[in-house]
Amino acid sequence: METSLHYNVTWVLQTNNSILPIKMCKKATCGTCNKTSWWGCGSHIPSVMDTIPDSDRCACEPKVEVGGVSYPPMAASPN
């Protein structure tokens, strides 16, 4: 999966070569560990994840750092 920012919208090139616009971040379930992660543009990660207890958060790698705080990677789908 590859992402790029173009005209203030983040676009994701999926493995099937379709292009999907990503909107505001929302809570999602990690497809690997089945714990809580996020999905979206990446600009709202703290507002999604800061209320989720650490024990319920996805622990997969690589982490995403926002404002000096580590968050789980983006979930593969917005489920």
CA distances from 73 to 7, 40, 46 (A): 23, 11, 13
Tell me the β-bridge partners of 20: 12
Confidence check: pLDDT of 8 > 50: no
- The residue that leads in pLDDT, 33 or 20, is 33
Using alpha carbons, select from 6, 3, 27 the residue that is nearest to residue 14: 3
Q: What is the pLDDT of residue 52?
A: 97
The domain spans of the chain are: 24-79
pTM tops 0.95: no
The rounded distance, in Å, linking the Cα atoms of 50 and 77 is 20
Q: What is the pLDDT of residue 79?
A: 85
